[in-house]
Amino acid sequence: MDATRIIEEALDQFGQDFTARFEAATTEQALRDEKATVLGKKGKLTEILKQMGRVPPEDRKRIGERVNALKEQVETRFSERLAALRNLRRQAELSAPPFDLSMPARIPTPRGHLHPLTQTQSDLLAIFRDLGFLAVEGPEVELEEYNFTKLAFPPDHPATDMQDTFWVSVAGAPSGARTLLRTHSSAVQIREMTRRRPPMALVSTGAVYRRDDDITHSPMFFQMEGFLVDHRVTFGHLKAVLSTFAERFYGPGTRTRFRPSYFPFVEPGAEVDVSCVFCGGEGCRICKYTGWIEILGCGMIHPAVFEHCNLDPEALTGFAFGLGVDRIAMLRYGISDIRLFYENNPRFLAQF
């Protein structure tokens, strides 16, 4: 057989061979490997072309054209097969069971919930919002003037003592002004009565601070303050609001009792007890066998406080009350140690 014939047969064989190899490749990588075997420097075609030297010159052009056509065929088949393989893979993905990214993990992720104090705080706020009170906020670092002076605390009042109050220094505070971590939420009264004109009915909750630390006192705790200012507001309005509150929070039939008490910024002042929610007033360990539980301090806003806020004490009256959110929550959930609220023990918190 002459060289031309041999090479032509080899090329025929090559043409069938690579088509079969490409069809047999089932992955993109396998296909690329086959292409390298076919066309590469050490590939089949290179091997065949080594015999070109023996082909008579008059046949070379024809053979050369044949080779080029084959190369083009290889490229075409390759791209076709590549497209087909990609399409197959896509179809397989589309018909496979869907991969659900939103599916929960097999190990359940523990879910948190609102802190019992936050829950209590929002329940309290909701009642006063229903009664028409607007919720406002005040800063935890407060001026002495707002926390004590304008609330008519005399300068030597024991509450202002170093031992009772966290005095702090604040960069940028007005010169000569003393600052502290507010000891009660009543400072909000001053802020709001200075900025707003009556009528106003406001509530405010937030952290307050005192140098106290035992099973019923925490250096940081939460209070809720409420106050209402208008013309002709009476102690009767105060009683109505607080007894309505007590019945909504503790249930219908809950009774309230007002005992005279003293706070420098109210006159008259009172402490409010509710009939014991545990024994209904019969007397139990929780109410110390009195049938009553103390829940808040309140009173009619002192005329001096109005004056300090540039409001006319002849024209206006108002009431204010303040309650300890922690105490309310402790009674509500039967918790005996206030410090549990702040230890962040998940086994404690998970119970509420």
Q: Which residues bind ligand PHE (CB under 6 A)?
A: 184, 186, 263, 266, 269, 297-299, 320-322
Biggest CA pair distance of the chain = 131
Q: Rounded CA gap, 331 and 245, in Å?
A: 16
Question: For residue 324, which of 202, 228, 209 has the smallest C-alpha distance?
Answer: 209
For ligand PHE, the closer CB: 209 or 321: 321
- 271-288 residues labelled b (16+ CB within 10 A) or e (exposed): bbbbbbbeeebeeeeebe
- Give the C-alpha separation, 159 to 183, whole Å: 8
**Nearest distance from residue 266's CB to ligand PHE, in Å?**
5
Apex 326 CA angle, 153 and 138, nearest 5: 50
Q: How far is the CB of 172 from ligand PHE (least distance, A)?
A: 27
Nearest distance from C-beta of residue 258 to ligand PHE, angstroms: 12
Q: Which two tokens stand for residue 229?
A: 């200012």
Give least dist CB 187 to ligand PHE, A: 9
Q: Judge contact between 265 and 282, C-beta under 8 A.
A: no
- Tell which residue, 240, 219, 221, has the closest CA to residue 330: 221
Q: Which is nearer to ligand PHE, 120 or 147 (CB)?
A: 147
- Closest CB to ligand PHE among 263 and 306? 263
Closest approach, Cβ 271 to ligand PHE, in A, equals 8
- For the bound state, the minimum distance from the C-beta of residue 279 to ligand PHE, rounded and expressed in Å, comes to 26
Residue 55 or 301 with smaller CB distance to ligand PHE: 301
Give pairs for 126-131: CB < 8 Å, separation 24+. Answer: 127/245, 127/248, 127/249, 128/203, 128/226, 128/245, 129/203, 130/248, 131/201, 131/241, 131/244, 131/245
Tokens of 257: 């009792």
Q: Which is nearer to ligand PHE, 281 or 297 (CB)?
A: 297
Which residue of the chain is nearest ligand PHE when measured via CB?
A: 322
Closest contact distance (angstroms) between CB of 196 and ligand PHE is 17
Comparison of 33 and 230: residue with beta carbon closer to ligand PHE = 230
The residue among 198 and 299 lying less far from ligand PHE, judged by its C-beta, is 299
Shortest Cβ 256–ligand PHE spacing (Å)? 15
Cα torsion angle, 122, 182, 138, 298, sign: positive
Vertex 150, ends 146 and 151: CA angle to 5°?
Answer: 90
Write the burial class of residue 248 (CB in 10 Å: 0-12 exposed, 13-18 middle, 19+ buried). Answer: middle
Cα separations in angstroms, 115 against 28, 86, 118, 165, 217: 56, 54, 5, 26, 18
Whose Cβ is closer to ligand PHE: residue 298's or residue 340's? 298
